[in-house]
Amino acid sequence: MLRKLIEERLEKQYDDEYEDKFEEIVRETYDSFVNALHELKLEGVFSDDVFLTVVSTDPSDNMILNARKANKQLNSQSTLKKWESSQSQSN
C-alpha cells in the first residue's frame, strides 16, 4: 500500500513538472531526429534519391510546418519535387 502511494505521488510530481514543457520536449525530440538524419545523409548513409522525412502521428499546425522545413533540409530539390508530385497524385 505504501509503495503504491509513493508511486502515485511520484507520478503526479512528474506530471506537474513536465505538463508545461510538453511542446518543448516534443520540439527538441523532433529536432534531434531531423539532425540525426541530416548528419547521416552528410556521411553518405543515404543516397540523394532517398526521401527522408520526420513526421508526427498526431501533428499540430506547428509540427506540420516543422516537417515542411525538415523535408527541405533533408532532401535535394529534385527528390523533394518527386515526393511532392507523388503526394498530389495520390490525393
Name the grid cell of 31.
Answer: 529536432
Least confident of 20-24, 35-39, 49-53, 78-82: 20-24
Residue 78 pLDDT more than 90? Answer: yes
The residue-averaged pLDDT of 8-15 equals 70
Where residue 67 falls among pLDDT bands split at 50, 70, 90? very high
Long-range pairs for 28-37 at CB < 8 Å and ≥24 separation? 30/54, 30/56, 30/63, 30/66, 30/70, 34/70, 34/73, 34/74, 37/74
- Mean predicted lDDT score pLDDT of the chain: 86
Name the grid cell of 27.
Answer: 520540439
Q: What is the pLDDT of residue 91?
A: 63
Does the reported pTM lie above 0.95?
A: no
Q: Which residues of 26-58 are buried (b: 16+ CB within 10 A; e: fewer)?
A: beeebeeebeebeeebeeeebeeeebbebeeee
**Count of structural domains within the chain:** 1
User: Could you tell me the residue range of the domain that residue 73 belongs to?
Assistant: 2-90
